[in-house]
Amino acid sequence: MPYQVVITDSTFSAETPENEIFGREGYDLVRLQCRDDRELQVRLGPADAVLVESAPITASVIEAMRNCKIIVRYGHSVDNIDLYAARSKGIPVCNVPDYCINEVADHTVALALAALRQIPETDRRVRQYGWQSSLPRPVRPFSESIFCLAGFGRIAREVARRARALGFTVMAYDPFVSPEVMAIFDVVSLPLDDLIRIADVLSLHCALNADTYNMIRQDRLSLMKPGAILVNTAQGDLVDAEDLSYALKQGKLWAAAVDVFDTEPLPPHHPLRQAPNTILSSHVSWYSSDSTPLMQRKAAQEAVRALKGMVLLNRVI
């Protein structure tokens, strides 16, 4: 019997990469659009590999899996998979962390530049009040500004490369990256609170865990320069949204540019909707015309590696 691969759910316009890769291997591909726990227990029972986007892969669903050799999450986060249950059953869980590095870096820098150059405010002022030949507030040249990165993984390193090309001095905090490694990228290593104090732009690139949950809240926001900008394209729960909104309203920092939120889609009464000097984008930093097919391809290739008994490239557990 050929292996059976099940895609639980997806928002992709086509599954061509999966069709090509699994078809070449002779695997049966089953496509669902299912997020119901009981139905998933039934449909994933015979699956040899499972690819999932947003469906909750709970302990009960994992317990019902009789043949599964791998669960692959489309994208980076694996929050919708019960990792403890998968580990207990010996099922590897993998993600796709490297499909949109350039896209997220581009979006991060675009948000920072739009906030620094006050483009949304200037656009509104031109439309509503007419023509003025200065920005709403003073702005420093990039060559005299410090672009700070909280976290220095793959995306942050690409942001650093772009920021340096624009003339910024770049500094970073990452407890898992040595100052010597940062120096290779011409980046200065600092403790987190020191980094926050000197940042003209503070861009977040940390993984979300117990230590980083709400790492940016009132106490750290109070350390920031009044003219500083916070950018978050990493994880919504790195920031306490209420505290950030209050800091913006009180003028404790100049602006925020946010692509990821503690609750998505963004609720109508979310505090950041009412915050001034705020650029909000709808978790689109990952997107380009090439990023989704690349993610699909990488997820399918990881499943093939598991079914062939090969070394997995992006194993979470």
Same domain for 72 and 158? Answer: no
Residues 111 and 255 in one domain: yes
Alpha carbon distance 313, 317 (integer Å): 12
Q: In whole angstroms, give the CA distance from residue 22 to residue 16.
A: 10
Q: Confidence class of residue 15 from pLDDT cuts 50, 70 and 90? A: confident
Q: Among residues of the chain, what percentage have pLDDT more than 90? A: 91
Task: Give me the pLDDT at residue 21, please.
Answer: 98
Based on C-alpha coordinates, what's the Rg of the chain?
Answer: 22
Phi-psi region of 251 (alpha: psi -120 to 50; beta: other; left: phi over 0): left
Query: CATH code at 40?
Result: 3.40.50.720
Identify the helix (H) or strand (E) that includes residue 232: strand 229-232
Q: What angle do CA 15, 19, 24 make, to 5 degrees?
A: 160
**Amino acid 137: pLDDT:** 86
Model confidence over 249-276: pLDDT tens digits? Answer: 999 999 999 999 999 999 999 999 999 9
- pLDDT per position as a tens digit, 112-146: 999 999 999 999 999 997 788 888 888 999 999 99
* H-assigned helices in 117-198: 119-129, 154-165, 179-184, 192-198
Question: Which residues are paired to 216 by β-bridges?
Answer: 239
Q: Is residue 316 part of a domain?
A: no
| Angle made by CA atoms 46, 27, 300, in degrees to the nearest 5 | 95
d(CA 288, CA 301): 20
Do 107 and 95 reside in the same domain of the chain?
no
Contact 1, 22 (CB under 8 A): no
Output the furthest CA–CA distance in the chain (Å, rounded). 72
Locate all alpha helices (DSSP H) within the chain, ordered by sequence: 16-25, 37-43, 59-64, 83-89, 101-116, 119-129, 154-165, 179-184, 192-198, 218-221, 241-249, 291-307
Residue type, 150: A
Task: Calculate mean pLDDT across residues 236-253.
Answer: 97
- Domain membership of residue 285 (yes or no) is no
Are 12 and 83 members of one domain?
Answer: yes
Q: Looking at residue 33, what is its pLDDT?
A: 96
Quote the distance between the C-alpha of residue 129 and its chain's center: 37
108: pLDDT confidence band, cut at 50, 70 and 90?
very high
Q: What's the average model confidence in pLDDT over 9-37?
A: 94
Residue-range definition of the domain harbouring residue 254: 101-280
- Residues counted in the chain: 317
Same domain, 19 and 140: no
Stretch 8-14: mean pLDDT, rounded? 90
Total structural domains within the chain: 2
Q: Is residue 64 part of a domain?
A: yes
What mean pLDDT comes out for the span 203-228? 96
The model's confidence at residue 46, banded by pLDDT at 50, 70 and 90, is very high
